Structure 1
């Protein structure tokens, strides 16, 4: 029987004093419906057996051995917080920003509030990677600021910066082809529909669409829908009075970044890409790419790379005998089981793939695994509440979090928005003192 369950909140990159992780800090601010998963979390949090301890450094404040000794089951579900970096010349320039940094900056991640991207000087942005995050970034960079202010929890600091922004063109670049795009059709349509508010879609080269037209009937439903969205859009624009668009975005394919060339210490000049060709020797073999030796340049003042994430081992993990795959960035497991009493769930179990919904389903699956391993004969363990209460540093409880949440909601109301987040750990700890 599970006597008690607990959530320690900590990450390798920064110790977090508040809950909700990706939902609070990673979801696009103009997609508040995605954050409805928090309601489910709150139901769990109000169970009398639940405890939450934020601002706790696992491996330092609490060792993994202590967790193993004081709980019947320990589940690692701390996600993937490292970027898959661009290993090319010029990638260390200040004008090169990861999507994790940029999204974290406007969503209020504590250790990213000094990012200060020079949007007031940049006109052209290149985004490498074409998943949903790339499209989220494009909407935030090109869309109107007032709706973000009134209906989202994007930070006031980010809003102020976006109002100064001179960005007018975004190029989204993928290494593979159109049909291998990682974004969903729903996100693509949402961005295309911004044409009605003056954000035009410059389009996709005919070279990326024409070869698939004769094969459309043999494509899968998702791929058919993608081609249909693009062809209908171009036909609509062609046959209608042109909407005046002051900003635009485009999709580029079959390009791999090779070098980033700077203009000055803040802005870039251009990005050099090598052209690729798609290779698929057999229908049952996944599509791959081969470089052609031909190069092209795209003008860019800023570059944001959205090339995925990688997990890392938290402090003390290896020393506690828990395996970690450094190359792929996850904890090896079988159906969530790592070793007796130790489990993994979410991205740190499977790698950085899938959205919040799929991660929640993974959590339900792993929870069933834990329950199947425990029985009434399990030794009763009492947790670390007695130890945590004696810490010499502030620890955030669920009751503290509810106080923080109320404060943020009231601060947002006073500013005419849904929520104004606290953006420094000192602010959080001062509030709950």
Structure 2
């Protein structure tokens, strides 16, 4: 029998468990360990609440969790409740699927002013992550600036722009829905240091901005190269740029809110008297390598809320080598060291889609099965040993049946137009379970 620990219960973790089940059959036991009492990671706390079709992939993960060889072990923080050394002692291999939940810093003056929020915190706030339930983003001002030209920036802009009615069918948490309905923000500026051809926004997400009932998207026509240059783009990027060109050309309806794309703008500093009031940027131009370089022209964008969407990094865990530059675990093709592997964003950095994590998981499972062929026995204690150590440390873990009880309670508490009302406090999850 072989015993494996997967640290992290998001997409990468479940795809890896799925691959290990296929590789080993009944000859393995797999524990998916998460610091939170509930599973699914990015699906629950990162995917936008109005993108329920994407969240439906959790049904596939539920089937993995129901496999006899797989166990969900929630409410266990690796590095706190148990150490990496403990896991290496108990399991034949430890696979980190912790994602990249920490915001990268902007590195500019004023980024620590009240009103400046990383996208992980803002997304976590409206998605009900317990670490961010109380951040109370300032929505009392008239303007917000979003730094970044990827899909997360689009998500943040869209969430700030929607009416309460447009959230029907979503699982946005009640505290965020009420705050957004009362928001005074009327202008949302999406700031990118390069131009329309360099965005990392997908067509579907961009297209959604053109169908908001109370907000209108604006793009400046001079920001585009000649239309003939679009032919050199790959098909997906070309569709995205076409959306931007349509926004620039459309006859704009008068609406209460506007979403403005400010291309060729490099954030320089954030200013304000005790809180964020404006984002100062420098106008840029593309050099021969396609990078945005400063022109010396500066101007200010009013913003009492500044959301930084410039990327994420994996949190460090004692005992796991780290790649400072990449913001992820130091690894070669997913292998960190003997017994230690990583998958997903913890391996690659924050890139790709949810589906990109599947080949990652299968690749590492193949490496593990090659190093430890099915039918061999490593003599490890596995989950039995973990339970003993958790009991000795007075740590109460949760299992998948506990998650189903939480899920049922959330569904029962849902608004009439919502699939669930998420419980957002760690203590409330445990109270529900009688822990």
> In structure 2, what is the Cα distance between the partners aligned to 1:355 and 1:90?
32
Residues 343-397 of structure 1: CA deviation (Å, up to 9, x unaligned) = 1101111111122121233222222222232212232433133413454132111
Picking from 182, 190, 202, the partner of 2:208 is 190
Picking from 47, 50, 54, the partner of 2:70 is 50
Alignment partner of 1:231 is 2:259: no
CA distance 1:187–1:380, shift in 2 (3 Å)? same
- 1:144 paired residue number: 163
Instruction: Give the drift of 1:40.
Output: 1.4
Picking from 312, 320, 330, the partner of 1:309 is 312
Instruction: Give the drift of 1:309.
Output: 0.5
> Is contact 2:144–2:303 with CA below 8 Å preserved after alignment?
yes
CA distance 1:152–1:217, shift in 2 (3 Å)? closer
Picking from 171, 175, 178, the partner of 1:160 is 178
Identify unmatched segments of 5+ residues in structure 1: 11-15, 281-285
SS in 2 for 1:91: coil
- 1:177 paired residue number: 195
> Is contact 1:198–1:243 with CA below 8 Å preserved after alignment?
no
Picking from 284, 306, 314, the partner of 1:276 is 284
SS in 2 for 1:166: coil
- 1:94 paired residue number: 114
Q: TM-score, normalised by structure 1?
A: 0.89
Residues 213-271 of structure 1: CA deviation (Å, up to 9, x unaligned) = 24333443234323333334444x34xxx533121111111111112111x445x3221
* Structure 1 stretches of 4+ moved >4 Å: none
Instruction: Give the drift of 1:410.
Output: 0.8
Residues 37-72 of structure 1: CA deviation (Å, up to 9, x unaligned) = 211111111111212211112123212122112111
SS in 2 for 1:417: coil
> Is contact 2:72–2:399 with CA below 8 Å preserved after alignment?
yes
Instruction: Give the drift of 1:34.
Output: 1.0
- 1:128 paired residue number: 147
SS in 2 for 1:112: coil
Picking from 413, 422, 429, the partner of 1:411 is 413
Instruction: Give the drift of 1:118.
Output: 2.1
> In structure 1, what is the Cα distance between the partners aligned to 2:70 and 2:234?
45
Picking from 57, 67, 87, the partner of 2:87 is 67
Alignment partner of 1:208 is 2:223: yes
Alignment partner of 1:249 is 2:248: no
SS in 2 for 1:89: coil
SS in 1 for 2:413: helix
> In structure 2, what is the Cα distance between the partners aligned to 1:69 and 1:25?
31
> In structure 2, what is the Cα distance between the partners aligned to 1:183 and 1:230?
10
Provide the aligned length of Structure 1 versus Structure 2: 405
Residues 111-166 of structure 1: CA deviation (Å, up to 9, x unaligned) = 211111121x1211110001101111111101111232x31111111111111111
Identify unmatched segments of 5+ residues in structure 2: 3-27
SS in 2 for 1:48: coil
> Is contact 1:124–1:167 with CA below 8 Å preserved after alignment?
yes
Instruction: Give the drift of 1:180.
Output: 0.4
- 1:13 paired residue number: none
> Is contact 2:81–2:395 with CA below 8 Å preserved after alignment?
no
> In structure 2, what is the Cα distance between the partners aligned to 1:232 and 1:107?
31
